[in-house]
Chain A
Amino acid sequence: MNNDLKSRIGTAIGVAAILAWCLLPVAWIISLSFKSQEAVTNGSPGFFPSNGGGAGWSNYSDVLQDPQFRRAIFNSIGISLIATLLSVILATLAAYAIARLEFVGKRFVLTTALVIAMFPVVSLVGPLFDMWRTFGIYDTWPGLIIPYMSFTLPLAIWTLSAFFREIPWEMEQAAQVDGATSWQAFRKVIVPLAAPGVFTAAILTFFFAWNDFVFGISLTSTENARPIPAALSFFVGADPFNRPASLLAAGAVVATVPIVVLVLFFQRKIVAGLTAGAVKG
């Protein structure tokens, strides 16, 4: 009994620690975004805005009215969505082959994917910078979409092939035996079973594209294609020690909101996807 109580108290402390770990820095950046710019310039230490140092929503309205910031959000949403869509289509095809078909070279595909997932991306920046300028896609959407696709494919392929392996494919034949056409069998039986996996892969791909920074700063030079993480880091001149902290914080919060919303809605699927196939030893 005593032991039970101890372990429950331990768990409760652990839960509190996890929540503090995850939410405190987020609370901090939100709190910072409400400090007024004057207060930040003059120095206003402390977690919460000081008395009279609050800014209300003005940082947010400033950020949202900034044309560069708006353009960056637009770029990020567009580039991430297109990269996600294309990457998931290609990954679905490949994952179907890996999960369902026997073929020579399966190991090669999986090893390639593994190596690419661990690739030091910065080492590609130089040659890609050079190549993209030759092809004329430097500083354009496709110039970012292509690398995002190739770097999200490994994750998408693994996630999807792990999901596809679990699908009881016999059901497709069973449906056909029961009189469904092969299209009906595919649409009514296989698609609903595969959809969660495809969806999970899409979310993880979107996360990667949204989060990318290395390609974002290296393969863009203007606001034409610059995504939001790069735009945030360039928000103010060269001095990294004197940034308009609260304004940046507001921008950071805006950039984080879409991801947090995705997390809130699809938490279960994301966890399943992140660990799918990773540790079934």
Chain B
Amino acid sequence: MSTVTAPKSRKAEKAPKPPDSDRSRAENSLARKLVAPALALMLLVTAFPMLRALYLSLFEYSLTAPDDRKFVGLSNYGTALSDALFWRDTGNTVMIMIVTVAVELVIGFAFAMVMHKVIFARGIIRTSILIPYGVITVVSGFAWQFAFSNTNGFVNSWLPFTPEDFNWFGQYWSSIVAIMASEIWKTTPFMSLLLLAGLAQVSNDMLEAAQVDGASWWQRLFKVILPNMRAAIMVAVLFRALDAYRIFDNIFVMTAGANGTESISFLTYRQVIEQFQLGIGSALSVLLFLSVLVVAFVIVKLFRVNLADARQEG
């Protein structure tokens, strides 16, 4: 059985180079002036520091002894990449990313379906769904840390399978579960709003046609709805995955990296800000940046997302 997909609205091929008229030249120069400040600021705080990190990563450089800075070539990268800590933290980060995004996708889709259907109380639901999005991540971290706490929380007494005094932050797995709970709680609403916008674009005619043809609910879901909102799903997954990969706030607040729950962002932060090791810290920064690129690349290739298409920019 083939999937039913809406005809793709191909964007018109790029118009041939506009004639080099006075008007187009004036438009070009005005546009550059309008765009320049924003572009300059964006690059000042990202590209420039990133290049600086690239440079600093070649030195042994500690802020506690700034005068002892010396060139060491790529050995900082060697140190980082051969350290088990680096790989453990990368493993943590990847796992958190995959689990949270998968869970968010399922729950977020369910929420989007409900919001799509619901007629009464629309305003209330849309307002409530924004509350987790608006809550500061640090606050969400606190709320969940205290909720899981065995001295002041309620999770132990609500869950049937945990003893009253179970210490969630006593070992690795339960700590990670608590961290992921906070992460998932806060970001699922965002996911569901993106998916809701995608759902709204699935044509009702097609759904009705499928229903008339006798397709069951599951068939309609997998053969009509999901294929037609592919772009929305992919954008949501890409954005959330890259966001999850930089997880920092929740870990900082909830465990401070105890029990091996550190993420790669947290490791980088610790090297730079707490230990003032700018050399190795910069190497970690560069590696973090590269790993985000790899993640983005894998997702884009794996799902063949065309971001320009999806964002309707051109």
Contacts and interface: CB of A to CB of B under 8 A. Distances in A.
B288 A7 contact: no
Interface in A87-105: 90-91, 93-94, 96-98, 101-105
B285 A123 contact: yes
B28 A245 contact: no
Contacts of A130: 52, 56, 63, 278
Interface residues of A, number: 106
A127 B285 contact: yes
B253 interface: yes
A127 to B, nearest CB: 4
Interface string A231-256: 01100000011010100110010011
Interface in A173-223: 207, 210-211, 213-214, 217-218
Interface string A133-165: 000000000000011011101100110011000
Contact of B272 (A25, A126, A256): A126
B311 A158 contact: yes
A245 B34 contact: no
B312 A252 contact: no
Contacts of B142: 29, 232, 243, 245, 248-249, 252
Contact of A105 (B32, B128, B134): B32
Contacts of A120: 245-246, 265, 288-289, 292
Interface in B148-162: 149-154, 156-158
A140 to B, nearest CB: 15
A97 B142 CA distance: 43
A129 B63 CA distance: 11
A85 interface: no
A17 B46 CA distance: 40
A14 B111 contact: yes
A116 interface: yes
A110 B309 CA distance: 12
Contact of A94 (B34, B151, B231): B34
Interface in A17-47: 17-19, 21-23, 25-26, 28-29, 32, 35, 40, 43-47
B232 A281 contact: yes
B60 interface: no
A125 B189 contact: no
A274 B310 CA distance: 14
Contact of A45 (B35, B150, B245, B268): B150
B152 A114 contact: no
B310 A279 contact: yes
B128 A19 contact: yes
B18 A102 contact: yes
Nearest to B238: A118
B286 A101 contact: no
Contact of B41 (A15, A149, A241, A275): A149
Interface string B247-265: 0110011111010000001
B131 A26 contact: yes
Contact of A102 (B27, B123, B248): B27
B45 A128 contact: yes
Interface stretch (B80-88, B193-201, B218-226): B193-201
Nearest to B249: A213
A61 interface: no
B251 to A, nearest CB: 11
Given A22-B129, A259-B135, A277-B311, A122 B269 contact: yes
A207 B134 contact: yes
Most chain B beta-carbon neighbours within 10 Å: one of A105, A107, A130: A130
B282 A127 contact: yes
Most chain B beta-carbon neighbours within 10 Å: one of A211, A278, A279: A279
Contacts of A232: 136, 138-139, 142
Most chain B beta-carbon neighbours within 10 Å: one of A17, A125, A157: A125
Given A29-B142, A263-B131, A122 B265 contact: yes
Contacts of B245: 120
Nearest to B146: A245
A127 B56 contact: yes
B9 to A, nearest CB: 9
A79 interface: no
Contacts of B285: 122-127
Contacts of B313: 98, 107, 110, 161, 277
A85 B91 CA distance: 40
Contacts of A40: 151-152
A1 interface: no
Nearest to A231: B138
Contact of B154 (A46, A96, A114): A46
9 contacts: A14-B117, A35-B152, A102-B28, A103-B28, A124-B49, A125-B268, A211-B137, A245-B152, A281-B198
Interface of B: 18, 24, 27-28, 30-32, 34-35, 37-39, 41-46, 49-50, 52-53, 56, 63, 107, 110-111, 113-115, 117-118, 121, 123-140, 142-147, 149-154, 156-158, 164, 169, 185, 188-190, 193-194, 196-198, 201, 229-232, 235-236, 239, 242-243, 245-246, 248-249, 252-256, 258, 265-266, 268-269, 271-273, 278, 281-282, 284-286, 288-289, 292, 296, 307-314
Given A14-B113, A110-B313, A256-B136, 6 more contacts: A25-B147, A91-B38, A122-B248, A207-B134, A214-B248, A218-B272
